[in-house]
Amino acid sequence: MNNDKSPTRHRDAGLSMMEILVSMVIAGTLVSALTLAYSTILRTHPDTVNRVAVSKDVSFIQAWLPLDLASAIDVDMTPTLQPATSKPLPGTNVLTITRKDLQSPGHPEYFVNYRYAQVDGRWVLLRFEIRNVGGVPGPEEVTQVGVAHELVPPPPGWDPTTPPTFAIDVSGRNPGQLHMVGSDVTVNFADGSGYDTGGAGLGSGFVLPPIPADGFLNPASPPSRCGGKMTLLLDTSSSLSSELPIVKSAAKDFVDAFRGTPTELRVTEFDREGKPVAPSTWNGPAIDMLNIDNAGVAAVKQDIDDIDDSTGGTNWEDGLRLAMTDFSDRVAINPSPHLPDTVVFFTDGEPYRYVDSSGNIQSTNKDHATAEAKTVSNEKGEWGVTLKGVFVHRPSLTGSALEAAKDRMKQIVGSTEWVPGPSGGVGNAQTASFFYTSDFLELSNIFQQIFVSDCGGTITVQRRENNDPNDKVTSGSYEYATTTGNATLNASISSSITFDYNLAAGASEWVTMVEEGATGAEITDVQCFSNGTDVTATRVQTLYENDGVTVIPSGRSIKVVANEALSCLFIGS
């Protein structure tokens, strides 16, 4: 294994006194700049059941918390603090961070508030932004931006007016000295894993050597948010009529989007009862989106095209049973042996069917049908399932009737509404549970934003041997040095590894990726695909040393795009 992570392989024989003095000045400048940086150390746990859920939480925490701490003017950790004046916020205050507000010239500061709270049966870390604090210069704005869902629950007898240090422990760096240099934060998850992060990285944890022999340390790449088990649950009742082709088209686009990602996908439908689509049986093998070929994709799309809307009735309960439970028993509510991490649940109406105590489908009123569906959805917290509801309302629903229909859906999936980002971007799609539109033509875009929040801006890498793109490696370890950190593909455990890049909506970026393989290993080709289409010619370039001339044969420069997932094959000996 070659441990040299620097892309530059050649060094000078020595330095003159003038060069040493200049280097000292530059190093001092870099150290000053790095005091605003942050470090992260991920502590892993062998249990992989909640890997995807926890990795998404880590992505949320990594994206926000270190930056908030690095930008803090002041930090208040009083557990009972309520920083908003317009309404009380749920749970216990963990951190209230005062930051400069560059958006509002009338108010120079705003609050970022992290809170530990119980939501839908799970203990979570909520992040709120509070602007125009106290109603100056305009109405106070309180916005929830993100949530980590899988935090460890409190011990028996915990008092919510005391700090929840068992879940989130915040400590000042450089304790006992005149000035703190930031904060360390440890977040503990329900599966036993933990995550350490903070602001001002030189204060604790990540310490640079005085004279780095190999350049700056390259931290471990964080776990990807992309992948896991996903079920698409479609309302196909007769009320759809002329809109059914639009729904089918959106569903097929959804399948295409996840191609090449480490996702196990199921497509299901419901009208008066739940029905499997792909696979064709409720307990059949899921669709392997990582390795599916063109024929496999065509077969799934044909299964979607074969859906009809000839059957009336809307049964949310049976649809959710099919998606989440052991469907061999329509009476008990037990987790499915293929329990999904995420269910994307589309409907255009309100439920009027339910499953009675004998397992039979019965008609009822919409309030009772909603309550019966809720008996299934209430298990999502305990089972670790994320429900995302997509509601497209019919023109006949208006006013209070529309609001009541939206409320019924929120009872099932949760009340966090999707707020699109600028120019219709992903916004808070990763943490939202309720997506709403009055236009069926927007359905495909909503499905796309859910995909982007899950796998957009990612590169999934697989290794192939003997210069053959079909010859999968089944053993050995392959380390990849990337601009987002280093990670190792252990081929005896996993067939792929995924890297996440945080890009603004519509943005793209050229990133570097170098395989630091075993001695003698050689990369002869790298092929990349998007939605199953070969994009190597436009998205992969030769990677050079810093001299711009010497080729790095084991690496490539790869263009990653915010709204796409790339699948790349590293091929060689």
pLDDT of residue 298: 96
Higher pLDDT pick, 266 / 131: 266
- The neighbour count for residue 35, using CB atoms within 10 Å, is 14
Phi-psi region of 132 (alpha: psi -120 to 50; beta: other; left: phi over 0): left
Q: Tell whether the model's pLDDT for residue 207 goes beyond 90.
A: no
- Which domain CATH number covers 465? 2.60.40
* Full domain range(s) for residue 133: 35-203
Q: Tell whether the model's pLDDT for residue 102 goes beyond 50.
A: yes
Q: Tell whether the model's pLDDT for residue 48 goes beyond 50.
A: no
pLDDT of residue 39: 35
Q: Tell whether the model's pLDDT for residue 311 goes beyond 70.
A: yes
The CA-atom distances, in angstroms, between 199 and each of 114, 202, 209, 523 are 15, 9, 19, 38
Query: Are 198 and 237 within one domain?
Result: no
pLDDT (average), residues 489-504: 85
Query: Are 472 and 450 within one domain?
Result: no
pLDDT (average), residues 270-277: 96
pLDDT of residue 133: 82
pLDDT in tens, 337-361: 999 999 999 999 899 999 999 999 9
Cβ-Cβ contacts under 8 Å for 32 (sequence gap 6 or more): none
pLDDT of residue 104: 54
Q: Tell whether the model's pLDDT for residue 63 goes beyond 60.
A: yes
- Tell me if the pTM is above 0.85: no
pLDDT band of residue 202 (cuts 50, 70, 90) is: very low
Q: Tell whether the model's pLDDT for residue 19 goes beyond 50.
A: yes
Q: Name the nearest CA neighbour of 255 among 266, 270, 269.
A: 266
pLDDT of residue 486: 80
Tell me whether residue 215 is in a domain. no
Q: Name the nearest CA neighbour of 415 among 382, 391, 442.
A: 391
Q: Name the nearest CA neighbour of 143 among 194, 191, 93, 84.
A: 84
The CA-atom distances, in angstroms, between 391 and each of 121, 231, 234, 417, 450 are 23, 16, 11, 11, 14
Query: Are 444 and 393 within one domain?
Result: yes
Question: Parallel, antiparallel, or unpaired: how do β-strands 523-530 and 477-482 relate?
Answer: unpaired
pLDDT band of residue 8 (cuts 50, 70, 90) is: very low
Tell me whether residue 409 is in a domain. yes
Q: Tell whether the model's pLDDT for residue 13 goes beyond 50.
A: no
Tell me whether residue 11 is in a domain. no
Secondary element (H or E) of residue 176? none
pLDDT of residue 135: 78
Query: Are 445 and 503 within one domain?
Result: no
pLDDT (average), residues 179-184: 50
pLDDT of residue 99: 82
Q: What is the C-alpha to C-alpha distance for residues 441 and 266, in angstroms, rounded to an integer?
A: 23
Query: Are 473 and 442 within one domain?
Result: no
SS (H, E, C) 16-42: CHHHHHHHHHHHHHHHHHHCCCCCCEE
Tell me if 123 sits within 8 A of 151, measured CB to CB. yes
Torsion sign, CA atoms 546, 551, 556, 560: positive
Tell me if 290 sits within 8 A of 263, measured CB to CB. yes
How many distinct structural domains can be found in the chain?
Answer: 3
Tell me whether residue 482 is in a domain. yes
Q: What is the C-alpha to C-alpha distance for residues 199 and 184, in angstroms, rounded to an integer?
A: 7
Query: Are 254 and 186 within one domain?
Result: no
Using the 3D structure, point to which of 454, 488, 505 is the last residue of a domain: 454
Tell me whether residue 221 is in a domain. no
Tell me whether residue 24 is in a domain. no
Query: Are 440 and 466 within one domain?
Result: no
Q: What is the C-alpha to C-alpha distance for residues 269 and 542, in angstroms, rounded to an integer?
A: 46
Alpha helices (runs of H) in 414-506, residue ranges in sequence order: 443-455
Q: Tell whether the model's pLDDT for residue 155 goes beyond 50.
A: yes
pLDDT (average), residues 124-131: 91
The amino acid present at 359, given as its one-letter code, is G
Q: Which residue has the tokens 């909503």?
A: 446
pLDDT of residue 536: 96
The CA-atom distances, in angstroms, between 546 and each of 7, 8, 167, 242, 515 are 7, 6, 44, 58, 17
Query: Are 248 and 276 within one domain?
Result: yes
- Which domain CATH number covers 413? 3.40.50.410
pLDDT in tens, 399-413: 999 999 999 999 999
Q: Tell whether the model's pLDDT for residue 335 goes beyond 90.
A: yes
Share of residues in the chain with pLDDT > 90 (%): 50
pLDDT band of residue 198 (cuts 50, 70, 90) is: low
| Both structure tokens of 152 | 């460890």
Q: Which residue has the tokens 């490696």?
A: 473
pLDDT in tens, 159-178: 999 999 999 988 764 433 33
- The neighbour count for residue 403, using CB atoms within 10 Å, is 11
Q: What is the C-alpha to C-alpha distance for residues 199 and 205, in angstroms, rounded to an integer?
A: 11
Torsion sign, CA atoms 47, 53, 57, 63: positive
Phi and psi at residue 163, in whole multiples of 5°?
Answer: -60, 135
pLDDT of residue 41: 34
Higher pLDDT pick, 16 / 555: 555
pLDDT (average), residues 79-97: 93
Phi and psi at residue 407, in whole multiples of 5°?
Answer: -65, -35
Query: Are 162 and 234 within one domain?
Result: no
pLDDT of residue 10: 39
Q: Name the nearest CA neighbour of 240 among 373, 397, 394.
A: 394
Query: Are 195 and 110 within one domain?
Result: yes
Tell me if 341 sits within 8 A of 295, measured CB to CB. no
Using the 3D structure, point to which of 139, 170, 203 is the last residue of a domain: 203
Q: Tell whether the model's pLDDT for residue 25 goes beyond 70.
A: no
Q: What is the C-alpha to C-alpha distance for residues 430 and 450, in angstroms, rounded to an integer?
A: 7
Using the 3D structure, point to which of 454, 474, 504 is the last residue of a domain: 454
Tell me whether residue 18 is in a domain. no
Torsion sign, CA atoms 440, 442, 447, 453: negative
Q: What is the C-alpha to C-alpha distance for residues 472 and 492, in angstroms, rounded to an integer?
A: 11
pLDDT band of residue 191 (cuts 50, 70, 90) is: confident
Phi and psi at residue 308, in whole multiples of 5°?
Answer: -120, 165
CA 515 to chain centre: 25
pLDDT band of residue 182 (cuts 50, 70, 90) is: low
Query: Are 233 and 354 within one domain?
Result: yes
pLDDT of residue 45: 35
Q: Tell whether the model's pLDDT for residue 90 goes beyond 60.
A: yes
Range from 198-202, 288-292, 491-495 that averages highest in pLDDT: 288-292
pLDDT (average), residues 420-437: 84
Q: Name the nearest CA neighbour of 413 among 370, 456, 446.
A: 370
pLDDT of residue 7: 38
Q: Which residue has the tokens 């696979």?
A: 279
pLDDT of residue 203: 28
Tell me if 544 sits within 8 A of 7, measured CB to CB. no
Cβ-Cβ contacts under 8 Å for 382 (sequence gap 6 or more): 121
pLDDT in tens, 434-491: 999 999 999 999 999 999 988 999 999 999 987 677 788 888 888 888 877 788 888 8
Tell me whether residue 58 is in a domain. yes
pLDDT of residue 252: 96
pLDDT band of residue 200 (cuts 50, 70, 90) is: very low
State the Rg of the chain over Cα.
Answer: 26
Query: Are 418 and 498 within one domain?
Result: no
Average per-residue pLDDT for the chain? 81
